[in-house]
Amino acid sequence: MAFSSALVLFAHPDDAEFMCGGTIAAWTRDGCEVHYVVITDGSAGNNEPGATREQMRPIREREQRAAADVLGVKSVTFLGEVDGMLEVTLDTRRKVTREVRRLRPEVIVAPDPSRLWSGNRYINHSDHRAAGMLALSSVMPDAPSRPMFQELEREGIEPFEVQNLWLSSNEPDTYVDITDTIDIKIKALEQHVSQGGAEAEPWVRIRAQETGEQVGHTYAEAFKAFRFVDDPSEE
């Protein structure tokens, strides 16, 4: 499906590139206007003794903006929540809703909040789960409901009904062929120097290849897609 605009909502700098970098590269190539909303400051991105959050914040922001440039993303907005401490509260819901209503995207792409782990070697970060829940909350009830966060309306930001939601899920039903854009995804990941983004290339390719094999593509990314409006052809 082709979209004219997209908002990618995620917790940490580099999450979007891992989650859907090939898809974003394909969409922007085809004229889709893509916006990033990064919920946290990425300040927990260094586990070395003596590293501080203050040191990491500008590094993570700079790397994220560089990666977004590689993919052709139009704008990057940081909401500034503290990395590792993200919670679904009225305040964070309001912040996300402001961006959804302001940008008015045709599709929101976000992590799947129901994903707790993968296999027996990975436990999903609580910030990722919270980001996914914030995406769901924006779809219903926050972005479309006029009684929600009426202070935004007073700022001139009208309610907005999200038409499509794509979650990066372990139970996908929608696949995007990224065979022509996986190299751009890798290049974007390489911009995250502080996180060793370049070192992820082998397993990123393996994962995309395994996903692609399910639907006959060399490389693919997979999503669970929701559509909340009727297509005229179905009427």
Average pLDDT of span 12-26: 98
Give 105-134 pLDDT, tens digit per residue: 999 999 999 999 988 999 999 999 999 999
Average pLDDT of span 84-97: 98
Res. 167: pLDDT tops 90: yes
Question: pLDDT-derived band of residue 214, with 50, 70 and 90 as boundaries?
Answer: very high
Residues of the chain with pLDDT > 70, as a percent, come to: 97
Contact between 178 and 210 under an 8 Å Cβ cutoff? The reply is no
Give 50-63 pLDDT, tens digit per residue: 999 999 999 999 99
Q: Secondary structure of 210-233 in the HEC alphabet?
A: HHHHCCCCCCEEEEEEEECCCCHH
pLDDT score recorded for residue 204: 98
What whole-number distance in Å separates Cα of residue 48 and Cα of residue 80?
22
The predicted model scores a pTM of 0.96
Mean pLDDT, the chain, integer: 96
pLDDT score recorded for residue 2: 84
